Structure 1
Amino acid sequence: MNFLSVLLIIGLSLFLSACANSASYEGNHEFQMAKSGNVDAQYNVAMNFLNGDEGFPKDYLQAKKWFKLASEQGDSSAQNALGIIYLRGFDGQKNLGKSEYYYRLAANQNHENAQLQLALILLTKKENIKEAIYWLEKASAQGNVEAKEKLLELRK
């Protein structure tokens, strides 16, 4: 075999390998379940996109899309995740209003972290101290140490 033949074979095998791996997650059972509307699968697919796990590429826009689908079905963990995404701007779009909205949805479903995060956002708005304390008390009652510490700090 000459040098050009070897190069052609290597190039072809790299190309085929790239094609095979480019959308390997689309055949994933969980991805198929998520596409059919399974809320737990939608959350898991979103986490896979968020972290680049299980053969999924790291893709914040895809993660947000799947979290939104799960959120629309009332999944409090997905709502909390959207609160985080908008608060931190993982996709390049920080939006405190949307973060508060999604944290509030999850907090109303007794999601401990969302209750804490909502309270912390509300504390930045001086007129919402009373509501912030309410959410800190709810999170604290679930054993959230940070919420307990923040309550002690506010009551000094």
Structure 2
Amino acid sequence: MTPATLRRLSRYNAWANQRLYAACGALDPAEFAGPRPSFFGSIMATLNHALVADMIWLGRFTDRYDHGITALDQILHDAFDPLARARAELDGVIIAHFDGPMGDLEAPFSYRTMAGGAAVTPLGLTMLHMFTHTTHHRGQVHDMLSATPTAPPVLDFVYYLRENP
């Protein structure tokens, strides 16, 4: 894992979120928040979870970001516009964090899990996990969009790379 790769992933993350949120913004509120067969139960709840998880990981990576999250399924925003604003703001914070010094990416990284347990994983790979976790949940939302009148956007990393060489 290199700092350059993590910087690129922070930008891809924002790009993919912008595209996904643009599609979700076309949904009426009932489609956005309505129940769907999925782990978190709706597009709104899944997007909230991805936001919550990124806030938790960023909070673990830096002492400067106090997230105040108490549960992985916490709903921070139950309407699209405030959720989209929070996502865009956090994506900017993530990019700024990864543009700065990241420390020894091979070093063990100690943190507390949401259940209160202690965990130690390699710093760089843990940072990579933050991005793959969000990608996983974007895929779930992408699938849920397929059952709506709104077409899911292309989110593949190679498309980002073609647009951002």
Please classify the TM superposition score into its range, dividing by the shorter chain length. Answer: under 0.3
Q: TM-score by structure 2 length?
A: 0.24
Higher relative contact order (CA 8 A, sep 6+): 2
TM-score scaled by length of structure 1: 0.25
